[in-house]
Structures are given as C-alpha cells and as structure tokens.
Chain A
Amino acid sequence: MRPRTRDLFGAFMTISVSAFGGALPWARFVMVEKRHWLSDVEFNDVLAFCQFLPGPNIVNIAIVVGARFRGPLGASAALFGLLLPAFCIVVTLGALYSAYGRLDSLRDLFTGIAAAAAGLIVAMTEKMALPLVRRRALTSLPFFSAAFIMVGLLNWPLGWVLLCLAPMSIAARWWSKR
C-alpha cells in the first residue's frame, strides 16, 4: 500500500524522536517491520544507494523513500518529519546544558542507551544479512568480509572502501549470473 504524504511525515517523525544512538535500526523497524512499505531486500537496496551519496544516510533514506512514494512533496515531508523534532530536542538539550553546564546524568543515561543502541545495530546487521545468507552466502562472503575489515578494523575512509570494493563486487555478481 502506498503511504500518503502525511504518513511519510509521521513515520519519519517517529524515527526521529525514537532514534537514540543511531537512526538506521529505527528506519528499518518502522518501514520494514511495522508499516511494510519496503521488503527486506528493498531496504538493503535503498541503504546501499544512500551509502554512495554524501550526507547523513538517514537524510538520504528519507529523500529516496519519500520520493519513491510521493514525489518531491513526499521527499520534503519525510525530510522535515525527520529534522523538525530532532532539531527541537537537540536545541532544548543544548539550552539546558548552557544554563546548567552539567552533563553527569545525561552521561549515565547515555551509557545505557549507547550499549542498547549498539545492540540494535548488531541485530540490524543480522537482519540485513539474512537475504544474502539465504540466496548466495558463499559468493557474498569475500566482499562482506573485505568491507568489514577495511571499515571496522583498518578504519579506512568509507568513500575509498566503496570505490575499491563496489566495482569488484558488482563484476563478481555479473560474472556469476552469466
């Protein structure tokens, strides 16, 4: 079912206010698991596309998903749904900070949330990997591992990793389909 413009605004508002410690697991939860706007494979494709473009991934996802269902208006609705609440919250917290200048309880709060948010991203990795594991586990493994090692262990800049791995991975896929 095609979401209305106001559904897009609402969905990205939900993502915005709940996305503690990372917006991507929430984007997936809302659009794939809860509202069924995208299949698991479609979500992977959207994120793959957005990784190639500069700017925050979640902003790019809002644009792509909004535009897919409702054109420019949908894209704007999704973008402002995402930015508006987050902007208000962060400015309020900033104002509280410059008024009181103490962050101790915020830090305590964040220690807990950060650990859970990291756990959510681990879970998202597992969910995103499932369609690959089911269909072509063996041919995916070298490129999955290379990307993991370059970004996670060697801390190479993302742009270079994409430039280096994407052509090889696409060529390998093309080769195996011939």
Chain B
Amino acid sequence: MKGPFETLWFLAVHFAILSLLAFGGANTIIPEIHRQAVDVAHWTSNTEFADLFAIAQAAPGPNTLIVTLIGWYAAGLMGAVVATLAMCVPAALLTYAANRLWERFNEASWRITVQEGLMPVTVGIVAASAFILIRATVHGLPQLAVASATTLVSCTTRINPIWTLAAAAILGLSGLLGVSHG
C-alpha cells in the first residue's frame, strides 16, 4: 500500500502525462484510465468505474472530470483536486504558449489560409461527434423525437438551450423515454 503523498504524486504525474496524449477530449484516454484505476491500482471496482463514468457524463462541465472522481476514490478530496489540476493545467499551459505563438502571425496571409483550410476538417469532426453521440444516446422513437426537437429549437429560435435540456430531463425522469433498468 502506498502512502498518501505517493498516491497524490502518482495521480499528478500519471494524469498530467495522459492529458497531453488526449487529443479531442477524455474519450481517447478512458481505456487507459480504466486500466490504471481498476486493474493496476484497484482504486475502484469495474462497476464503480462504470458508474463514475456515468456520473461524470450526467454532471455538467467537461466530461474529463471522470478523473476528478477517480482521484477522489484514490486519495480523497486532495486526490480529486490533484487529479483535476493535473488533467487541465499542463494542457492549459501548452495551449497558452501555442496561442501566443499563433497570435504573432495574426496579420499573416498564410495564417488565414491555414485557418480557412482547417475549417472543413474541423466541422467534419464536429459532425462526426454529433453522429457518434446520436448513435450512442438515441435508442428509440421517443429519444429521436427529443433530439430532433432540440436541434430544431436551437437552429430556429434564440431560446436558451437550458429549457430544452430541462424539458428533456423531466421527460427522462417521468419514464416516458422508455428506459428500462437492466
């Protein structure tokens, strides 16, 4: 069994390295986090991990905060703080440095060409994540109706999306979306 400081240090280093490998968000590193938390360090059971993942997804904010919960299970509140900072701060510093470099070329015509060239790829990736999410969350007509209605409202009105999310949450709680507990 490791002492508390060793665990905190381990969390800091491990998640800092992982965060710099996470292109496109936490989903790419979930398998590695799972391996570490469940198989190697035994911080959580397999079921607990799945439940913590569900909590991180259901909670607002970046889904990356699964690491907050893992840190909490590993080393209490300090573990949660350390894991969260390790996941976000190195990436943030890197982004800050890269952005300063990039802003130096604000007026350069090649920068504009690069940005215009990247845009179709970026929008294609966003479209792909929309597709992946729809495939993962929509399992029937009621859910399809909720998703389509949300898209329609967001595209055609200026209503704050919190209202459509709230309506969908109420529909979900009421059981109208046909979820079964397996």
Q: Is the CB of A151 within 8 A of B124?
A: yes
Interface of A is mostly: helix
A-side interface size class: 35 or more
Binary interface encoding of chain B residues 48-70 relative to chain A, with 1 for a CB under 8 A from any of its CBs, else 0: 00011011111111111100110
Give residues 88-129 of B contacting A (CB, 8 Å): 88, 90-92, 94-96, 98-100, 102-103, 113-129
* B165 interface neighbour in A55, A116, A124, Cβ under 8 Å: A116
* A26: min CB distance to chain B, Å: 7
Residue A3 CB within 8 A of the other chain = no
Instruction: State the CA gap A112–B80 with chains docked (Å).
Output: 28
Binary interface encoding of chain A residues 11-45 relative to chain B, with 1 for a CB under 8 A from any of its CBs, else 0: 00000111111111110010001000000000011
Residue B75 CB within 8 A of the other chain = no
* A5: min CB distance to chain B, Å: 15
With a cutoff of 8 Å between Cβ atoms, the chain B residues found around residue A139 in the complex are 120
| Contact A51 B24, CB 8 Å, known A25-B154, A115-B147, A169-B120 | yes
Residue B30 CB within 8 A of the other chain = no
Tally of contact residues, B, Cβ under 8 A:
95
* B149 interface neighbour in A45, A50, A119, A165, Cβ under 8 Å: A119
* B16: min CB distance to chain A, Å: 10
Give residues 109-129 of A contacting B (CB, 8 Å): 109-129
* A147: min CB distance to chain B, Å: 3
Q: Is the CB of A19 within 8 A of B62?
A: yes
Q: Is the CB of A112 within 8 A of B146?
A: yes
| Contact A20 B60, CB 8 Å, known A79-B92, A108-B175, A115-B143 | yes
With a cutoff of 8 Å between Cβ atoms, the chain B residues found around residue A121 in the complex are 126, 129-130, 133
| Contact A125 B137, CB 8 Å, known A51-B24, A119-B154 | no
With a cutoff of 8 Å between Cβ atoms, the chain A residues found around residue B128 in the complex are 147-148, 150-153
Residue B28 CB within 8 A of the other chain = yes
Report 21 cross-chain contacts, Cβ distance below 8 Å, ordered by A residue. A20-B165, A29-B161, A44-B119, A49-B102, A53-B95, A59-B62, A59-B92, A67-B99, A85-B60, A86-B60, A87-B81, A89-B61, A90-B68, A91-B72, A106-B55, A107-B54, A112-B171, A117-B150, A119-B149, A151-B132, A152-B129
Q: Which residues of B contact A (CB under 8 A)?
A: 19-26, 28, 51-52, 54-65, 68-69, 72, 77, 80-81, 84, 87-88, 90-92, 94-96, 98-100, 102-103, 113-134, 136-138, 143-144, 146-151, 154-155, 158, 160-162, 164-165, 167-173, 175, 177, 179, 181
Q: Which residues of A contact B (CB under 8 A)?
A: 16-26, 29, 33, 44-45, 47-51, 53-60, 62-64, 67-68, 72, 75, 79, 82-83, 85-87, 89-91, 93-94, 97, 103-129, 131-132, 139-148, 150-153, 157-159, 161-162, 165-166, 169-174, 177
